[in-house]
Chains A and B, each alone.
Chain A
């Protein structure tokens, strides 16, 4: 699927730089040692605003839930409708979710609860983006 290209801004640059190196990093608050995603300027738990790291993740997770998108508002994705849109829970912290189109999984045949691993796919402008595939063995 052809996702929109990404133009990293100052705030998100570390996330996208890591993706281009095929590494998954998630924002972590150094004050309370809590991951948060989506990233934010302040910690949604303790309120700290200036002590974050981008913490490497294992790249393993589980399919928590999914829907099937038949009417997508994003123009570039419309030619691929219908498509799966799943939510992945990270093994590092099941409270942290990431979206996935689950490449290779038939539409509406998603194995909820299955183990997945991160992969990286190019977007329309070549920026790599984290995606997830089912671990089959």
Chain B
């Protein structure tokens, strides 16, 4: 057995890969040959030194990084377990994406809405148009509560009979009384009148021109109304004298 052959077999010998029969003659050669023995010894030392390098110190943060990664992967795995989990996972992602998209816009958006409301409420009065009372539906609430706020005529009992009275449309009146229908808009002003019976008196004219009514309301909203002004004939003062 030549030294070259023996030196090639040293590596398998160290790894116990040489058959028993061949091993004996190989070991005998290593005992007898100084050069091959030294080679074998150096290979043994090298293997021993290498085997001592089997445990390198891990950086302290690596274990923590691995656990964080494992935690993420576990969450990822669990989010894909079933169809509903997957749906929930993606809907969560979508929600987060939408939230992130909207969050920077939230303050400008809210500011814009508030500004628009303020501007709109400030500008609304200037948008009002003259109402065409000819087309108004006077029957909206003809029996609504209509009260005279200030006028020469009053609606309270105990006043003299010759003062014009504001009465509901359904109230009855004497045969000789003067009756005027007053059409009142939603701001409480008389916008039109109609002499139904008798002659217009100056008191009635004053009421028509100067009275301010509290308008009728429908569902809490001021609405045009129709009231009846009646003057008893006790002291009749006609306009057309």
B is bound to A:
no
